[in-house]
Amino acid sequence: MKSVADRLTRKTKSAATAKERLQLVLIHDRSDLPPGVMEDLRDEIIEVISRHIEVDTQAVNIQIAQDGRKQRLVAEIPIKAKDPNRRKR
């Protein structure tokens, strides 16, 4: 039989997970971005930055984050090791 502490811990974890999911849904709804816009935005950002530095395109992560009532576009763009043979522009 489970203890009371186990039951409370599980409920807290479930509540935290539900809250996080709800926040993600609200962020997505408030951003009013049509489907596919985030993927297009990701591709364009990678294209522009790649003109100047080499990035790991498979590891790029772009998302909309909620900061109070404000939204921010957050991008994590890993840079590949510098190639000494790459030409400067």
Query: pLDDT tens digit string along 17-56?
Result: 787 777 666 665 666 777 788 888 889 999 999 999 999 9
Give the residue with greater pLDDT, 54 vs 11: 54
My answer on whether 41 and 75 are in the same domain is yes
pTM of structure: 0.55
Selection from 47, 53, 55, 52 nearest residue 77 by Cα: 55
> Where in the sequence is the domain holding 27, given as residue range(s)?
1-32
Work out how many domains the chain is built from and give that number: 2
Distance CA 77, CA 74 (A): 10
My answer on whether 17 and 42 are in the same domain is no
